[in-house]
């Protein structure tokens, strides 16, 4: 999926140390309802703990040894941005709105790897490990996540409660209060579990949301 010149400029902007509470683009800070579209760059906030889904170029010391994924407490960290993309071999394109039940991918903006899961045990709780893997055209079904919208509405909106279910394993993207003792910043574990509960609800928050080109 291509990114427009405007999109590239916005991504470069996101690499700068700007203050999201005062200097974010107006359309990202608007209180008006905002639809999530393919190509948008966003943060996912864990609804209960308020930590953001986060990754950086540090591998797990156990399990798969792939790039680690954690929950991060600071709102303004640039390693918590993800690009929403369609799965390969679909007609979906940049700017299309996304409805509940759609299978999507999330690409880590800084490292270009895909949010991934499998049956390796997660480091703290022993649930299913969530990692970042691949990159660019190197992607497989381990990167596929099904969007489930909580409550009313059929199209994904900013600040709306959602779940993401991993297609291969059936595990829901999950986090909790269990924190890593050897990772700086009080980061908490992100993993996958097959049971729905309050700890696998997320919301799209800060980010750059591309205008809708196609609605369902």
Maximum Cα–Cα distance across the chain:
45
Contacts of 130 (CB under 8 A, 6+ apart): 69, 115, 116, 117, 122, 173, 190, 191, 192
The structure's pTM equals 0.87
| pLDDT at residue 9 in the model | 44
Residue ranges of the domains in the chain?
A: 5-208
| pLDDT at residue 32 in the model | 75
* Pairwise CA distance, residues 67 & 74, whole Å: 20
| pLDDT at residue 199 in the model | 98
CATH 2.80.10.50 fits 5-208, yes or no: yes
| pLDDT at residue 18 in the model | 31
| pLDDT at residue 59 in the model | 94
H, E, C per residue of the chain? CCCCHHHHHHHHHHCCCCCHHHHCCHHHHCCCCCECECCCEEEEEECCCCCEEEEEEEECCCCCCCEEEEEECCCCCHHHCEEEEECCCCCCCCCEECECCCEEEEEECCCCCEEEEEEEECCCCCCEEEEEECECCECCHHHCEEEEECCCCCECECCCCEEEEECCCCCEEEEEEEECCCCCCCCEEEEEECCCCHHHCEEEEEEECCCCCECC
pLDDT digits (tens), the chain, 216 positions: 444 434 444 554 444 333 333 333 434 445 678 999 999 999 999 999 999 999 999 999 999 999 999 999 999 999 999 999 999 999 999 999 999 999 999 999 999 999 999 999 999 999 999 999 999 889 999 999 999 999 889 999 999 999 999 999 999 999 999 999 876 678 999 999 999 999 999 999 999 999 998 777
């Amino acid at each position: 999926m291509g990114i427009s010149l405007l999109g590239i400029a916005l991504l470069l902007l996101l690499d700068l140390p700007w203050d999201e509470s005062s200097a974010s683009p107006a359309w990202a800070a608007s209180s008006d309802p905002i639809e999530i579209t393919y190509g948008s760059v966003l943060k996912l906030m864990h609804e209960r703990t308020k930590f953001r889904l986060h990754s950086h170029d540090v591998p797990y010391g156990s399990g798969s040894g792939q790039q680690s994924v954690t929950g991060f407490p600071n709102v303004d960290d640039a390693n918590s941005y993800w690009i929403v993309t369609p799965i390969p071999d679909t007609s979906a394109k940049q700017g299309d709105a996304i409805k509940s039940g759609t299978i999507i991918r999330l690409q880590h903006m800084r490292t270009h790897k895909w949010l991934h899961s499998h049956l390796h045990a997660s480091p703290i709780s022993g649930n299913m490990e969530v990692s970042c893997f691949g990159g660019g055209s190197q992607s497989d079904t381990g990167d596929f996540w099904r969007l489930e919208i909580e409550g009313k509405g059929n199209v994904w909106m900013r600040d709306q409660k959602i779940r993401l279910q991993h297609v291969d394993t059936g595990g829901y993207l999950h986090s909790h209060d269990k924190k890593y003792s050897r990772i700086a910043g009080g980061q908490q574990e992100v993993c996958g579990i097959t049971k729905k509960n309050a700890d696998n609800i997320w919301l799209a928050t800060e980010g750059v949301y591309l205008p809708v080109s196609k609605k369902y």
